[in-house]
Amino acid sequence: MIELDRLYADVEPTKKRNRDEKFRPAKTSPFWLWVADRFFYGMLENRFYAFRYKGAENFEHRNPNVPTIMYAPHSNWWDGIVAYNICNRIFGKEIRLMVEELNRFPLLRRGGAFSVNKKSPQASMTALNYAVDVLADLNNILYLFPQGIINPPNFRPIDFQTGLVYVAQKAVKKYGAVNLVPVAVNYFFLRDNRPEVWVEFGKSIELKDARIDRKDYTHFLAADLEKLCDSQFDDIRHARFAGYDTLFQQKLKWYRRIEQRLKKVELPKSGV
């Protein structure tokens, strides 16, 4: 039986295990990306009724000549699959995703994941420096979960570890600038028996100055993402759906189609 009070931990798994683990870089190829594209898209189609997104123009209006980092909250297992489809299906880019327990799922490297060991700040440096290096290829999007741990859905306040800003500073020094794109991701049941994925992209921030205070800028980015997430949640709970595009929407199940037909049938009054 799952112990509910242990679903979310304040300590990262690799820090809790406190042992060295081999760093594993991403290892993609055209064949494996073809496999990953169909597999990860199929997973979403099998589990969700629809995938909707808004604000793609904020990504398109970024500076295309410098690297891009996307960052989002992390509340459940599906976040990485959603991230892959954002980068691959919506924007036609390759994802580079930092995964803490990649040693348990090494095949994810073929889709663009690379490992990180958070045993100590020093142990994390290999992954952080690798993250800077992969930004050299502008076909890559580095996708990060800066909270560092999985939190409950809509957990507040959103707090970041400093890894995102560390990578951004190093990228500015190496490439001259970097785009920072916040991403709000949520999962809702809306008039169907299956949930939907809802994604909103915030305005891209082009960071050009590496001399920023790391802690202050970390707080700024966390607050900016929290504002975006709260705005998205408020829109959806008030049924404000304008501006959303649809990546996919399933056909209704047979019993839902029958239900829709029955709603159109006018039954005679009983007279009672």
pLDDT (tens digit per residue) in 148-190: 999 999 999 999 999 999 999 999 999 999 999 999 999 999 9
Q: Report the CATH number of the 8-263 domain.
A: 3.40.1130
pTM here is 0.91
Q: Give yes or no for a contact between 130 and 114, defined as CB atoms under 8 angstroms apart.
A: yes
Query: CA-CA distance, 246 to 16, in Å (whole number)?
Result: 40
262 pLDDT above the threshold of 90: no
Query: CA-CA distance, 72 to 75, in Å (whole number)?
Result: 10
Cα Rg of the chain (Å, integer) = 21
Query: CA-CA distance, 83 to 183, in Å (whole number)?
Result: 9
Residue linked to tokens 């400093």: 162
Query: CA-CA distance, 142 to 26, in Å (whole number)?
Result: 12
Q: pLDDT category, 254, cuts 50, 70, 90? A: low
Higher pLDDT, 10 or 25: 25
The count of other CB atoms within 10 Å of the CB of residue 235 is 17
Query: CA-CA distance, 151 to 154, in Å (whole number)?
Result: 8
Q: Give yes or no for a contact between 199 and 182, defined as CB atoms under 8 angstroms apart.
A: no
Q: Give yes or no for a contact between 134 and 60, defined as CB atoms under 8 angstroms apart.
A: no
Residue linked to tokens 């604000």: 55
pLDDT tens digit sequence for 25-51: 999 999 999 999 999 999 999 999 999
Q: Give yes or no for a contact between 115 and 102, defined as CB atoms under 8 angstroms apart.
A: yes
